[in-house]
Each structure stands twice: as structure tokens, then as C-alpha cells.
Amino acid sequence: MKRNLVRIAIWGFGAMGSGMARMIMKKKGFDIVGVSDKYKGFEGKSIFEILKLENPFSHDVKIENNIERILVEEKPDLVLLATDSFTKNAYEKIKFVVEHGVNIISTAEEMAFPAAKEPELTQKMDALAKKHKVTILGTGVNPGMMMDLLAICISGVMEDVKDMEIARVNSLSPFGPTVMEEQGVGLTAKDFLDKMSKNEISGHVGFIESTYMIAKAFGLNVDEFRQSMSPIITDVDRKSPYGFAKAGDVAGVDMRSFATLSNGNKINMIHPQQIEPQLAGVSTGDYIKIQGNPPINLANVPEVEGGIGTIAICVNMIPHVINSKPGLKTMIDLPVPRAIMGDVRNLIDEE
Ligand code: NAD
């Protein structure tokens, strides 16, 4: 006998949350039982009207501000939370979902390895999840896969691992106004440096989480971690759907991180992100170089697109999270991620 449909609620219907709804609607065995977003323009609207897609379910799904009704009345198996980047901002939402006895996957970058920056909240979340017998996971394309889990997986064929260099060269063009602002696209170099000194440019969030995840996977600690950020100044005018940088201004952010693990190994990360990189002759890609035996030199060109990658990994991890033992998990605690191609119910363990 087939188990019931896998009941999903989505909290945050922006670029990621709405993309997850689209993906779920194309798969077999899922039901979207509720969507919550605080944006006034969404209130009471059907998600199918917003997405301009035919409703594949036997009921409508209207966006509501009140997640509590969805948790209590619709009893989802899992909530996809796509509202935040930082653990401290996502924490109350995660707690609320867990206290209703519901599993949760968060896109918050810091939740990919929350122990790196928020060890106390990490312990609290783990204890809460165990008490309510549910699982919490943070994931995404990066952190969550391209600059951490992929390197960890490939090390499985290595007898010895030495220094690592992990690079992701990506385009910011597909992203919206929030990302343009967070990355300083369109600012003059002077304004960028002013804002950077006031911590008003976030750049990439995730190097420290990726580094700690790799160290933990190897059974090591992080002895030293530092990161740097600098503006990418364009020589030519560049325009993307939500960004514009004129020649001489900022087209993106070049981020680097440097870490030493407790055995002396180095992990260096390189992550330049900019709008329209091709206009500066820059090709995008994901690169992992690991010294050791055997040496590894992986390249994926062009980059895995950040939006699709994040949407897919969150949806694809749903069965693993539902099947998991309770607690706060990271990508190194759960089975290998893989695309859901058949009926998702075939991937859920018997009760
Ligand atoms: P977005 O701005 O397009 O959407 C966020 C949505 O959440 C908005 O519709 C907003 O109204 C809603 N929201 C925010 N707070 C809410 C609340 N308290 N209650 C209800 N709704 C609320 O952002 P996005 O592109 O969808 O990304 C979501 C988050 O995921 C961002 O913080 C982003 O940085 C992160 N992210 C992580 C990765 C990764 O690789 N780990 C990749 C992409 C995005």
C-alpha cells in the first residue's frame, strides 16, 4: 500500500520558495498543503495564479501570513523555510515549526553548519528537534554543496588529503534587488569601501560554514579562519535585469577565505561574484583542487546556477530529512543527495 502524499508547507514565497513550489508541482507523490509569506501583495492569492501554472492538486493553495494555522490544521510532514540568511534570524521560525512537531529544511546560509558561528543556538535546536522527534537541516547550493559537500564526497577516493583550493566563479545576473544591494552592485568604489567598513555589504555568507563542515567531516578542527572582500570594478558598462554598473563602478564582490585545520592542512576558498561576467571575459565555473593521493582536479563549467541549485537541493533532501533520526543535521549526516525522479513516496522509509 502506498503511503499518503508527502505534505509540504512553504514559508517564504520569494525566488527560492516559489521555485520550490514549481519544482514540487512537477514531481509525483507531493502535496503543497500551505504557503506562508508576510508580503502584503501576496495575501489571499492563489499560488497557481502567481506562478501562472495549472493546479495539479485537488485543492487550492492561498498564501497566508499565518503559518500557525498551516502547522496546526494542515499538519505538514515538512516545512521548507526560505526567508533568511542568518541563523539568529531563522532561529525563532525554526523553533516554532519544530515545537509543532514538523520537520524543517532551511535555506539560511549559516544553517548549513550553524555550529561555526552559533554553537549555543545549534545545541538548543538539536535538543528541541530531539524532544519533538523531528529533523532540522540547512542546505543550499553554496554553502551546502558546491564549496563543501562536493569536496568532502570526492575525498572519499583519497588515501591522504593535503591542502585544498575551492573556487566558485559565478554570475549575479539572475538575482534580484536584495542581492544587488547586499553585494554592492552599482556603487562607486568609494561608496563600496565606506559601506564595507560599516558592515553594510554582506558579500558571500558561507565560507566559515563550509570550512567547518569540511573540518568536521575529516575529524579535524579549524585552528585559524579569516576572510577578505574586495570590490570588482568594471571596465565596461554592465546591465543585468536588476543591476547596473557603469564603467569604473562596482560589478560585484571578490571574496576569499583562508583556513588552517588542526593537522596543519590549508583550505583556501575563492568566490568572485559579479553581474554579466562575460563582458569582462570571465567564464563561470566550480573548481575543486585537492592535493594528496590521488590529487583531485574537478571542474564544472559553467557554474551550477545558484537559484536552480538551491531550489533542487532543498526539494531533493526532503525524503532524507523525513527518514532521518531526530535532531539538527547537516549535509554530512544524511545520505548522499540525489535527484527525485520517480514517486517521492518510494523514497520514504516504511513507518
Ligand atoms: P527573497 O527575498 O526572494 O524571498 C524571501 C521571501 O520571504 C519574501 O517573499 C519575504 O516576503 C518572505 N519573508 C521574509 N521574512 C518572512 C517572515 N518572517 N514571514 C513570512 N515571510 C517572510 O529571497 P530568496 O532568494 O528566496 O532567498 C531566501 C533566503 O535563502 C535568502 O536569505 C538567501 O540569501 C538564502 N539563500 C541561500 C542559498 C544557499 O546556497 N545556501 C541560496 C539561495 C538563497
At 42-63, the pLDDT tens digits run: 999 999 999 999 999 999 999 9
Residue 18 Cβ < 6 Å to ligand 1: no
> Could you write out the three-class secondary structure of 123-166?
HHHHHHHHHCCCEEEECCCCCCCCCCHHHHHHHHHCCEEEEEEE
pTM for this predicted structure:
0.96
Residue carrying the nine cell digits 576572510 = 227
Q: What is the CATH number of the domain that holds 112?
A: 3.40.50.720
134 shares its domain with 184: no
Would you state the cell numbers that stand for residue 156, as one nine-digit string? 572519499
In a domain, 1, yes or no: no
Measured at the CA of 337, the angle between CA 324 and CA 163, to 5 degrees, comes to: 110
- Tell whether 53 is covered by a domain: yes
Of residues 27, 302, 317, the one with CA closest to residue 149: 317
User: Mean pLDDT, the chain, as a whole number?
Assistant: 96
Query: Strand, helix or coil at 314?
Result: helix
pLDDT class of 179 with cuts at 50, 70, 90: confident
Which of 71, 107, 178, 242 for a ligand 1 pocket mutation test, highest count of atoms within 8 Å of Cβ?
107
User: For ligand 1, what atom is nearest to the CA of residue 14?
Assistant: 4
> Looking at residues 131-157, what average pLDDT do you find?
98
pLDDT at 2 over 90: no
Averaged pLDDT, 328-342? 98
Single out the residue in 303, 322, 337 at which a domain terminates: 303
The predicted-structure confidence for 308-319, as pLDDT tens digits, reads as follows 999 999 999 999
Q: What's the domain range around 284?
A: 149-303
pLDDT > 60? residue 158: yes
Report pLDDT for 1. Answer: 55
Is the pLDDT reported for residue 144 higher than 70?
Answer: yes
Q: For the chain, how many structural domains are there in total?
A: 2
- Which residues contact residue 339 at a Cβ distance below 8 angstroms, ignoring those fewer than 6 apart? 312, 316
pLDDT tens figures, 218-255? 999 999 999 999 999 999 999 999 899 999 999 999 99
12 falls within a domain? yes
User: Which residue's CA is the closest to the ligand 1 atom numbered 33?
Assistant: 85
Helix (H) or strand (E) holding 119: helix 119-131
- What average pLDDT does this structure show over 296-325? 97
pLDDT band for position 22 (cuts 50, 70, 90): very high
What's the pLDDT at 3? 82
Ligand 1 centre distance from Cα of residue 247 (Å): 31
For residue 233, give the nearest of 271, 176, 197, 272 by alpha carbon: 272
pLDDT category of residue 301 using cuts at 50, 70 and 90:
very high
Enter the DSSP assignment of 70: I
